[in-house]
Structure 1
Amino acid sequence: MGIFRKFRKDRNPSPLQRRRGLGPNENRSIPLKVAIYWFLGFIGFTGLIVLIAFAGLTQSDPQIARDQVARDRVVADFSFSFESDVLTQRQVALARERIPPFYEVDIAPFEEFSRALNALEFDFAEFETNLQDLEGVNRMEAIRAFVREFSDERGMELPVEQTAVFLNETSPAQRNRLIQDAIDVLGSIYRNGIIDEDDPNFSGIGSFNVIPVQTEDDEIARVEIQRPYDARVSLRNELANMDVSDTVFNSLYEILSIGVQPNLEFDAEQTRTRRDEAAVKVNPVRVEIREGTTIIEPGVTVSALAYEKLVQYRQEQSTRAANRFFLDPTFQQRTLLTLMVLLTSVLLLQLGFPRLANDPRRLGTVALLILVNLLIFRFSLYLGNSDLFRGDHRIIGVLPYVAPLAFGPITAGILLGPILGALTAFIISAIFAIMLGEASFLFLAGMISSLVGIFLCHNIRLRTNVVRASFLAGVTLSGFILLHGALLDSDLAQIGRQIAAALISSSITGVVILGFLPLLERLFNYTTDITLLEYTDFNHPLLRRMQVEAPGSYHHSLMVANLSENAAAEIGANPLACRACALFHDIGKIVKPEYFTENQRSGRNPLIEQKPSMSAVIIKRHVKEGVELARKYKLPKVFVDVIRQHHGTSLIQYFYREAINRRERSQLPLFSDISAETVEENTYRYDGPKPDFVESAIILFADSIEAASRSLQKVNAQSVGELLDRIFQSRIEDGQLDECPLTLQQVAIIKQSFTRTLLNSLHTRIAYPSDEKDKEKEKRGKEGKEAEPKSTPPEENDKGDTDNQQV
């Protein structure tokens, strides 16, 4: 923008215009054709956002979580019905519970015990022949000893006293009859089955009185549930029918009681098969919801059934919206809100940052980042509601924090600066909140966490710091999640899942940004500070060549880098961009270094032998050769711009004046032998263009100042200040800043910075005393130099013509 065309009072912009980067008479009106293009672009961008964000979107209501107290009321706007999985599963569970566990009868314990009783009878009959001579106590003692020995041999635990009484009180015939009758009674009890009270499936029987069992004949029978206690009661009742004395009855019961053992084995496969068959027969339960029915009641814990109704209601809304699309009220409301967000963003840019608002490349990058971010959002929402997670309410609850909210804002902040990064954060957070129905918390939490990431990435230098900034943005979001959950008394497990999702997502986002940045830099010709820092490495092939082939130009570039870096830091420009670009601004001198005096060691200047016009062409050629080298080594575009602009369209004054002098001398009689040539000013001007950004203008001044400062005979604040005033005024009057947004205030700050840097770098040292021999040698050296003819043009003029120094 032309704010320095003339150094006149009426050309000075007002303070407000300087803050906005405008000139005093700049016309901010936009041509109709351009305005139409901008309008169509805005409408197209809005349409893409609406289609990506809202087309076919099912509202997931992340603020309503199952088993949590609801804050809002949800009322059905229409009637609908659906098959309830919750109620169907309840019916299935009831059907399965109605099927008792299946058992198989094991007769082996009974058969083993009955064999033991028969053996007891047989062995005692043989042993009884030895008891004929024994009576009373001795007889009982002998029988007890027999019982103990029998129990040890059989591994049984027969009650010794009761068994001895039974054997002593019964005759062989009576004993045989009683044992056989008892075995029959015990067999009947075993065939009905005895269940173990410690069986883990016993509690599942519930209130069942009978259970299915598989008998020894492989038949399915339904029998009453019989625990060991119940079996002993049945045994006692059956034995009571026998015609025996109480003593024999009690002793026989005690013997048979040890034989009552659980003999039902749980058949898991049969039980599962029977229950599955019952579950299959259950018909799906259909729920009817009438218009006006309250689905979610505020202040009430959201049950599984209520949450299912809400999910089905939202899906029905989505289906109806897809059928009507633009006619759907929810879709229209979301579109209106999106339009309001985008209009707010446009107005903010136009009012506060008009240069950014009229930069299609930067706005296109912001638009691309927003669309990519929204596509990631939709993909995450799709996964959360897909069959992969089966609409799990726990997954739906963490969806807002899985989405990488800070991806677009941090990327925009690194590439385009904090202003456009903050604008991207505003748009993305607002649209994401609209997508999920969160009007306040999610918008503010996403906005603030993104701004934290942008702040930490401002002037970032190392790539690893991008991951750190993204992670800390996730930490900020996690803090808001924790506070929000505590205020709402949310489930701690759900809060933990949301925080974990936010931290993991933010870490992954940082890594993705690192991979995405080089692609955007290449695609849109951006250069981040991270890339600039890499180019300040002195081991770059071009800088290594410059050190060897053009050492004077290399030293000049270092000095220009120091001057421009310090000045850029003073006015709030990009110091790293100035330093990196200044190091490469004169790489074109590598091609013909001998034509520039800073590289001439022999004192011979080949330009003196050329015509002024040819010398000017050779001097100008280093700009084109620098551009070719920059493109060959694939330097960033900003480097190429600085190489082309660091002389602007300034005049190569020495050769221009030499050409004028030759033409004037050729018209005199004494110099008629001098060939005259037409002098056109354009021949002696650089091809440009003029600097069109601040950093390029700073390097233009630094390049001129550094070259001119070498001609100073005396270095002090006054001489340096006068030199700077002359050069700055010369460049301004020549119109070299007409296309650059520098303000007068910034120019004054740059001059002050240059003064400090030059005084620090050109300071004089104390002259050390020399002996008589050294003085004599110095005197002879001066006399020799005075006798030598001068073959180089005069040093830098007071206009700051850097090409005089180059000559």
Structure 2
Amino acid sequence: MSIILGRGWSKIKMIKTNKKLLSNRAFQKSMVGAAFFLAITALILANTLPRKYDLNVGDIVQEDIVARKDAIDTVATRKLQMAAAKSVPEKYTLDQNITREVKNKVTEIFNTVRDVQSRDFMDNAAKIKTLKLMIPGELSDETYSVLLNMSGPGLKELETVTKAVIETVMDDGVKEESIDRAKAFIIEEFKGVSLSQSVKNAGEDIAFAVIRPNMIFDKEATQREQKAAMEAVDPVKITKGQVLVEKGKPVTAEQIELLKELGLLALDNSSYFTMILGVILLVAILEVMLILDVYLFHRDLYENVSYLGLLALVIVSTLFISTAFKTISNFLIPLAAGSMLISILINPSMAIISSFIMSIAVGVILGNDFISALVALLGGLTGVFYTNKVSQRSDLTKAGGLVGVVNFLVILSLGLLNNSSMWDMARQSFWGIANGFLSSILTVGILPFLENTFGITTSVKLLELSNPNQPLLRRLLLEAPGTYHHSIIVGNLAEAAAEAVGGDSLLARVGASYHDIGKLKRPYFFIENQLTSDNPHDKLNPTLSALIITSHVKDGIDIARQYNLPPIIQDFIIQHHGTSLLTFFYKKALDGDAEKRLEENSFRYEGPKPQTKEVAIVMLADSAEAAVRSMTKPTPGKIEGLVRQIIREKLADGQLDESNLTLKDLDKIAAAFSRVLMGIFHTRIEYPEKLRELERKG
């Protein structure tokens, strides 16, 4: 029993630990980052890893094997390079030292002949024998005999002629394979010499015996020339889509070698490994760059796990959609859709860095086609710039049209740079224009789903909420017309003031439209909706009146949730009074007795105080409009004085402490309020005659 209880307690502890881990923000961020990394890596690998083929020489393929990307036909290129290298003639260097050695050898032969001739104690046969021993196997018997029988001047003349002939022949260079040709030249040279034939024969014999190649093979120079010739060969290019092996034909050895070079053979998995490693490194670099940008420049986004998930989802989804449209055309990649969604849902600066990240990934997915990636990037940046502030839904359509125009111009300029044909430029430009409209369609279609899923209120959503035909606004108009009119004026004031201080004017106007919807529950307890002079508060205790008035905030939140108003609009409802004091009812409760002890908190709104500029502006606009409306004869001076007094009172009461408004902002707000209120509550011109006519009719 104790063992079972122990196991149960361990499971409970494990569940609690897991829940704690899952709720840890650092862990959640890590999971988003890991999921993003794996998704991008899988997308790129799925579109870049080539299909492998198990083939041997002579196999018949059942489909065309085509190149999935531009590449170099290394097999054909290597053949051309080898042919170019073989065509380079071998390089030789003329060695004059060998020529001198050959001439010295001739000198030695003739000196030896003279030495043997001088041996008078020998007969002719002995001399020939001795000469053969001193010049072994190099000359014929006839040459030995002729040399020994020649006189001293004759020998000297033959020696001179022989050296001259050898020098003439060897100065032109003698290669190993051209020895026979050199000997033929020697014979031709001796023909022109005025000596007896036997002597010429002896000279030729000596020259044949000593001559040797003086052109030395220069291996380094030859290799240098061959290398230059190989480098001059233009590589044989394989274009994307080119058929490498035709269907129904046997595979040749050359084709097998080519497929191996391109990493398309099943037995060769080394290319898979290197590509996977390369993709992992690239995705890691891109994600680190994205994380650094978010951490350094968008700290609020970094702390919001939901927004990080949204950013990752949009980028991954954009790349996934891109893989579907790339089969039609690389210029139809709707990267601008992702850029515009990030710009609208998160912020434009985040969309810019995301566009760069997505364009690099798209370039890799398209087989390193970075021209198409450049077009997608510039189109995406155009979408970001145009959606910086969306004032109406049609702006998204206009943004798509502008993206199409930019795509058209970029494709046209690149086509002109590359001397593309007019047909190619026209066809590609068409896809670029279609890309813009496709991006806008995807943005408009996907935006509402992301808004609802992540609870984000975009400018497009705000525009929808500002439509007077919204059910809640129509109900406010019909059931509490005074409050509706008051909200419209407050919205105009808030919009002008928000523009003046650099706030979100659209958010301020829409927030003002809904800030008093809680009055729908008891509209006639609020003076702007009272059509008669009867005021129900005259019959109520001040404390009860204060409770009814302050309860419109809680009622407003209930109605807002019922109508699914975004949290950012609900903030206006719950914060637009802050913790302000209901001065009228508080003083009425005191009933002139200043020493009467009352709990002031019973006459204050529950708050919280305004947390943003826009809510604080609506608070000030709400009070300013009500106060100026109660003036009997408003003048510009009175209006501005009252506006500034109200702002001072709110500031002194601490209602603006948490709104980030500066004193300079408050001065701009007062000026904006005064300008709008003067236009609304200006002094009217009286028409006495018209009034008298109406009185007579009355």
Task: Classify the TM-score, shorter chain.
Answer: 0.5 to 0.7
Is the Cα–Cα contact under 8 Å of residues 56 and 321 in structure 1 kept in the other structure? no
1:48 aligns with: 38
Relative contact order, CA 8 A, sep 6+: which one is greater?
Answer: 1
Contact 1:470 1:507 in 2 (8 A): yes
Residues 497-535 of structure 1 deviation map (CA, whole Å, 9 limit, x = unaligned)? 433333334323322222212212211223333333333
Taking a change above 3 Å as real, the CA distance of residues 35 and 631 of structure 1, as seen in their structure-2 partners, is closer
Match of 2:335, SS state, is coil
- What does residue 286 of structure 2 align with? 338
The answer on 1:633 being equivalent to 2:552 is: no
Shift of 1:754: 0.8
Partners of 2:461 and 2:353 in 1: CA distance: 24
Distance 1:37 1:376, change over 3 A: same
CA positional deviation for 1:655:
2.4
Name the CA distance, whole Å, in 1 between partners of 2:670 and 2:468: 28
Alpha-carbon offset, residue 562 of structure 1: 1.3
Deviation at 1:563, TM superposition (A): 0.7
The 10-residue stretch of structure 1 (490-499 or 561-570) with the greater mean CA deviation from structure 2: 490-499
Residues 400-429 of structure 1 deviation map (CA, whole Å, 9 limit, x = unaligned): x23211111112223334333334323322
Q: What's 1:313 paired with?
A: 262
Aligned match of 2:411 in 481, 493, 503?
Answer: 481
Seq. identity, %: 32
Map 1:201-600 to 2 at 5 A.
302=238, 308=244, 309=258, 313=262, 315=264, 320=269, 324=273, 328-347=276-295, 350-351=296-297, 353-380=298-325, 384=327, 398-399=329-330, 401-436=331-366, 438=368, 441-490=371-420, 493-600=423-530
**How far apart are the structure 1 equivalents of 2:518 and 2:364?**
54
The corresponding residue for 1:749 is: 668
* C-alpha contact (below 8 Å) 1:73/1:295 kept by paired residues: no
Secondary structure of 2:647's counterpart equals: helix
Which protein is richer in helix relative to its size? 2
Q: Indicate conservation of the 8 Å contact 2:29/2:305, yes or no.
A: no
Counterpart of 2:92 in structure 1 is: none
**Following the alignment from structure 2 to structure 1, what is the Cα–Cα distance between the partners of residues 73 and 528?**
80
Q: 1:640 and 1:315, CA in 2 relative to 1: closer, same or farther beyond 3 A? A: farther
Residues 763 and 436 (structure 1), Cα distance of their counterparts in 2 relative to 1, 3 Å cut: same
Counterpart residue identity of residue 762, structure 1: F
Which of 592, 599, 604 matches 2:534? 604
Instruction: Name the CA distance, whole Å, in 2 between partners of 1:58 and 1:297.
Output: 29
Q: Which amino acid aligns with 2:43?
A: A
Aligned to 2:683: 764
- Compared with structure 1, are the counterparts of its residues 298 and 725 closer, same or farther at alpha carbon in structure 2 (3 Å cutoff)? farther
- State the AA in 1 paired with 2:386: L
Query: Aligned partners of 1:680 and 1:762: how far apart in 2?
Result: 37
Determine if the alignment matches structure 1 residue 685 to structure 2 residue 634.
Answer: no
Consecutive unaligned residues in structure 1, runs of 5 or more: 1-32, 61-65, 80-293, 385-394, 667-677, 778-807
- Number of aligned residues: 491
The answer as to whether partners of 2:45 and 2:276 remain within 8 angstroms in 1 is no
Q: Is the 8 A contact 1:295 1:310 kept in 2?
A: no
Deviation at 1:75, TM superposition (A): 6.6
Q: What SS class does the counterpart of residue 659 from structure 2 fall into?
A: coil
Shift of 1:702: 0.9
Please give the alpha-carbon distance, in whole angstroms, between the structure 2 residues aligned to 1:568 and 1:765.
Answer: 28
Root mean square deviation of aligned Cα: 4.1
User: What is the Cα deviation at residue 495 of structure 1?
Assistant: 4.2
1:268-306 deviations in whole A, cap 9, x for unaligned? xxxxxxxxxxxxxxxxxxxxxxxxxx9998676546898
The secondary structure found in structure 2 opposite 1:406 is helix
Q: 1:302 to 1:744 in 2, by over 3 A?
A: farther
Cα distance in 2, alignment partners of residues 653 and 520 from structure 1: 44
Letter in 2 for 1:620: T
**Does the 8 Å CA contact 1:296/1:306 hold for their aligned counterparts?**
no
CA drift of 1:378 comes to 3.8
Alpha-carbon distance change, 686 to 321 in structure 1, aligned in 2, over 3 angstroms: farther
Secondary structure of the structure 2 residue equivalent to 1:601: coil
Asked if 1 retains the 8 angstrom alpha-carbon contact of 2:48 and 2:364, the reply is: no
1:369–1:412 CA contact under 8 A, matched in 2: yes
Under a length normalisation based on structure 2, what TM-score does the superposition of the two structures give? 0.61
Q: Which amino acid aligns with 2:639?
A: V
The letter for the 2-side match of 1:537 is N
Counterparts of 1:304 and 1:521 in 2: how far apart (Å)? 41
Q: What secondary structure, in the 3-state scheme, does the structure 2 residue paired with 1:690 have?
A: coil
Distance between the aligned counterparts of 2:678 and 2:527, measured in 1?
Answer: 23
Q: CA deviation at 1:653?
A: 2.3
One-letter amino acid of the counterpart of residue 578, structure 1? A
1:753/1:305 CA distance change after superposition, 3 Å: closer
1: CA distance, partners of 2:381 / 2:481:
45
Structure 2 CA distance, aligned partners of 1:319 and 1:380?
31
Deviations 1:687-714 (A, max 9, x none): 2233233322221111111112124455
Residues 494 and 756 of structure 1: CA distance in aligned 2, closer, same or farther (over 3 Å): same
Distance in 1, Cα, partners of 2:267 & 2:601:
68
Partner of 2:619: 700
Contact kept? 1:649, 1:685, Cα under 8 Å: yes
- The separation in 2 between residues aligned to 1:520 and 1:51, in whole angstroms, is 24
Conserved? CA contact 2:404–2:432, under 8 Å: yes
Amino acid at match of 1:759: M
Give the superposition deviation at 1:773. Answer: 9.6
Contact 1:627 1:644 in 2 (8 A): yes
- 1:631 Cα offset (Å): 2.7
Aligned match of 2:643 in 703, 706, 724?
A: 724
CA, structure 1 residues 581+625, in 2 after alignment: closer, same or farther (shift >3 Å)? same
Q: What is the deviation of 1:642?
A: 1.6
Change (3 A) 1:594 1:488: same
Separation (CA, whole Å) in 2 of partners of 1:361 and 1:531: 19
What is the TM-score of this pair, normalised by structure 1? 0.54
* Match of residue 623 from structure 1: 553
Alpha-carbon distance between aligned partners in 2 of 1:317 and 1:422, rounded to the nearest angstrom? 41
Cα deviations across residues 758-779 of structure 1 (Å, max 9, x unaligned)? 12212112345589999x99xx
SS in 1 for 2:390: coil
Q: How far is 1:473 from its partner?
A: 1.0
Q: Is the 8 A contact 2:37 2:284 kept in 1?
A: no
Q: Which amino acid aligns with 1:329?
A: L
In structure 2, the residue matched to 1:801 is none
> Do 2:339 and 2:355's aligned partners in 1 also have CA atoms closer than 8 Å?
yes
CA drift at 1:344: 4.3
Separation of aligned partners in 2, 1:450 and 1:304: 26
Q: Quick one: structure 1 residues 495 and 332, their matched pair in 2 at CA, closer, same or farther if it must change by over 3 Å?
A: same
- 1:154 corresponds to which residue? none
- Cα contact 1:457–1:465 (8 A) shared by 2: yes
State the Cα distance separating 1:578 from its structure 2 match. Answer: 2.5
Q: Is the 8 A contact 2:515 2:576 kept in 1?
A: yes
1:148 — aligned with what? Answer: none
Shift of 1:574: 3.0
Letter in 2 for 1:368: L
SS of structure 2 residue aligned to 1:515? helix
Counterpart of 1:11?
none
